[in-house]
Amino acid sequence: MRGPARGLVVGVAALLAPASALAEGAASAEGHPLVWHAMNLIALLGVLVYFLRAPIRGFFATRRHDIEQKLERAAAVLREAEERLADWKGRMARLDAEIQELRRLAQERAETERRQILADAEAAAARIRRDGAAAVKQEERRARDALRKEAADLAIELAGELLRQQVTDADRTRLADEFIERIETPARPPAARS
């Protein structure tokens, strides 16, 4: 017999031997029951270890394998966390430099925009000055034209008033007669000069 059957026979014999010895020892008062109980316990433990050794080994092997896998996963997670930490530390170190660069770029942009705004304002001021000068010249021309027209109207009015005061009825009759005479007489060709 080999394998589990042999182990079973040995285990049963081991269990029965202390029990039979105990039965004989109980008959004699001089026996030590504690020794028999200990032997019985040792035999029982031996049988249990013999039969449960493979499942216990399998359990502990599986348990060990699970623990090793969990340790490997934990190590991988730890490595990944350390890599992320190193990455974030690098980013934090570069962050100050990036902030300084952003500030520098913002100042450059602000200075460029300030110069552009000043240039635009100067161009607008020059345009306003030109437009203002052109408007002043145009208004000056209008004022001169209005003054000339007013002066001409006033001169005509004054001349008419002077003529009314200085021309008499006789002058009017003479002027009318001269006008009629000119109309009635055909125009003569100019005399040829020799």
Phi, psi of 182 (to 5 degrees): -65, -40
The answer to whether position 173 is within a domain reads no
Q: End-to-end CA distance of the chain, in Å?
A: 179
The answer to whether position 119 is within a domain reads yes
pTM: 0.34
Radius of gyration of the chain measured on its C-alpha atoms: 68
The answer to whether position 178 is within a domain reads no
Q: State the amino acid at position 76 in one-letter form.
A: A
The answer to whether position 192 is within a domain reads no
| Interatomic CA distance for residues 16 and 43, integer angstroms | 10
pLDDT in tens, the chain (194 residues): 455 555 555 665 655 555 555 555 554 445 578 888 888 899 898 888 888 888 888 889 999 999 999 999 999 999 999 999 999 888 888 888 888 888 999 999 999 999 999 999 889 989 998 888 888 889 889 888 888 888 888 888 888 888 778 778 787 788 888 888 888 876 565 555 55
What domain count does the chain have? Answer: 1
pLDDT in tens, 81-93: 999 999 988 888 8
With residue 191 as reference, give the H or E element that holds it.
Answer: none
pLDDT in tens, 153-192: 888 888 888 877 877 878 778 888 888 888 887 656 555 5
The answer to whether position 20 is within a domain reads yes
DSSP code of residue 161: H
The answer to whether position 193 is within a domain reads no
The answer to whether position 190 is within a domain reads no
Which range of residues forms the domain containing residue 134?
A: 7-166
The answer to whether position 154 is within a domain reads yes
Q: How many residues does the chain have?
A: 194
